[in-house]
């Protein structure tokens, strides 16, 4: 019985991501042994990388530009060879023509474990071994769907990816982790789907592969410094603050409600009710200031009439929280 992979070194994981970018997720056994003998051993012991048929074309990505060395048959020497700018032609022994391939089923289970996704959730391949839905995890109180995608540098893969991920629009908020390091281009993602390079979520000063939950939290809270990405998950507003996007949901606000929300947001997420009521009542400011400034008055602004009945707005006491002494804050 194969043991479950529960950990890898950071270097092995990053090599694994590079192999994911190969069209067939394969790598030459010879080049692995020549360039990454210790990492190769770790990946093979983990069973993320397993033996495959002998290779006859591509080998391993170039470290600098992520292109692939192409193997060419030399009829004079009866050997395969590949060319590098630094060393010229390199001949490959027949024994080293063996190759290894990523076991995507096992590797996706490893990703699930590392991201805290329950093993009971089924990994679903959504698009011809380029896009997977790993399941949903919880970070800092947020429930977020996690996806993994590879080869976004290829235009046809990007087009297929966009079609597939837009069908997943109901599974939000979502973090889509991609294998490459270069930012994909020409991607217009739905709201609350953040596209993040997988390496960006790793703990930077650790030799072991581990997820930096602070980095995940920054993505979920929408801090600009967290994003080398397209899209984003955060508390978002339209320019008039009449529509709020939060935790994958869309909420509509009245003019008074939007003024309160704008005030809270521009004040850094925290403000006193005197200011909020003045801002929330911009259209009827004099009337509001003449009344007692009470919690009930804030409550009256943050409610809507539905079927003739007044109901509390869903953002009241969820996004907008009371801190006591007349102060309110955004819970995001």
For the segment 183-199, what is each residue's pLDDT rounded down to a tens digit? 776 677 776 788 889 98
237-330 belongs to which CATH class? mainly alpha
Q: Kindly give the residue spans of alpha helices, DSSP state H, lying in the chain.
A: 10-20, 29-35, 37-46, 104-115, 155-166, 213-221, 255-266, 273-280, 285-290, 295-301
| Model-wide pTM > 0.75 | no
- Which pLDDT does position 283 carry in this prediction? 39
- What is the rounded average pLDDT of the residues 297-305? 82
> What are the sequence ranges of the domains in the chain?
10-102, 104-234, 237-330
For the segment 80-96, what is each residue's pLDDT rounded down to a tens digit? 788 878 888 888 776 66
The DSSP output letter for 77 is T
73-79, Cβ contacts within 8 angstroms, sequence gap of 24 or more: none
Of 228 and 51, more confident: 51
Residue 61 has pLDDT above 90, yes or no: no
- What is the rounded average pLDDT of the residues 136-143? 82
The DSSP output letter for 316 is B
Q: Kindly give the residue spans of alpha helices, DSSP state H, lying in 222-321.
A: 255-266, 273-280, 285-290, 295-301
- Which pLDDT does position 271 carry in this prediction? 65
Using an 8 Å Cβ cutoff, are 91 and 74 in contact? Answer: yes
The DSSP output letter for 259 is H
The DSSP output letter for 4 is P
pLDDT confidence bin for 264, thresholds 50/70/90: confident
Q: Report how far residue 306's alpha carbon sits from residue 2's, in angstroms, rounded to the nearest whole number.
A: 58
Residue 56 has pLDDT above 60, yes or no: no
Q: Report how far residue 148's alpha carbon sits from residue 110's, in angstroms, rounded to the nearest whole number.
A: 12
Of 15 and 78, more confident: 15
Q: Report how far residue 148's alpha carbon sits from residue 131's, in angstroms, rounded to the nearest whole number.
A: 6
- Which pLDDT does position 107 carry in this prediction? 95
**Mean of the per-residue pLDDT values of the chain:** 78
CA angle 158, 161, 162 (to 5 degrees): 90
pLDDT confidence bin for 1, thresholds 50/70/90: very low
Backbone angles phi, psi at 111, to 5 degrees: -60, -45
Residue 325 has pLDDT above 50, yes or no: yes
Lowest model confidence (mean pLDDT) among 6-15, 121-130, 160-169, 223-232: 223-232
Residue 55 has pLDDT above 60, yes or no: no
Q: Smallest Cα–Cα separation from 51: which of 32, 34, 78?
A: 32
CB-based burial label for 310 (10 Å; 0-12, 13-18, 19+): exposed
């Amino acid at each position: 019985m194969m043991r479950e992979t529960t950990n890898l070194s950071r270097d092995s994981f990053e090599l694994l991501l590079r192999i994911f970018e190969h069209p067939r997720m394969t790598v030459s056994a010879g080049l692995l042994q020549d360039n990454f003998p210790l990492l190769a051993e770790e990946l093979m012991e983990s069973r993320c990388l397993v033996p495959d048929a002998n290779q006859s074309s591509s080998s391993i990505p170039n470290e600098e530009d992520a292109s692939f060395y192409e193997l060419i048959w030399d009829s004079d020497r009866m050997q395969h060879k590949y060319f590098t700018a630094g060393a010229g032609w390199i001949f490959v022994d027949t024994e080293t023509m063996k190759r290894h391939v990523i076991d995507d089923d096992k590797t996706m289970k490893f990703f699930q474990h590392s991201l805290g996704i329950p093993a009971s959730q089924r990994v679903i391949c959504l698009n011809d071994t380029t896009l997977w839905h790993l399941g949903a995890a919880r970070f800092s109180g947020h429930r977020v769907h996690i996806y993994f995608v590879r080869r976004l540098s290829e235009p046809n893969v990007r087009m297929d990816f966009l079609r597939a991920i837009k069908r997943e629009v109901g599974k939000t908020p979502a973090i889509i982790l991609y294998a490459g390091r270069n930012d994909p281009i020409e991607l217009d993602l739905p709201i609350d789907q953040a596209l993040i390079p997988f390496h960006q979520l790793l703990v930077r000063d650790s030799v072991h592969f581990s997820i930096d939950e602070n980095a995940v939290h920054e993505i979920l809270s929408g801090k600009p410094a967290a994003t080398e990405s397209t899209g984003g998950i955060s508390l978002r507003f339209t320019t008039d603050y009449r529509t709020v996007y939060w935790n994958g949901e869309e909420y509509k606000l009245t003019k008074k409600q939007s003024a309160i929300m704008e005030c809270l947001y521009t004040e850094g997420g925290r403000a006193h009710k005197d200011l909020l009521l003045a801002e929330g009542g911009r259209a009827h400011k004099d009337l509001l200031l003449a009344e007692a400034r009470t919690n009930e008055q804030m409550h009256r602004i943050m409610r809507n009439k539905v079927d003739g009945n007044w109901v509390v707005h869903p953002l009241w006491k969820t996004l907008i929280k009371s801190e006591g002494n007349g102060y309110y804050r955004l819970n995001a």
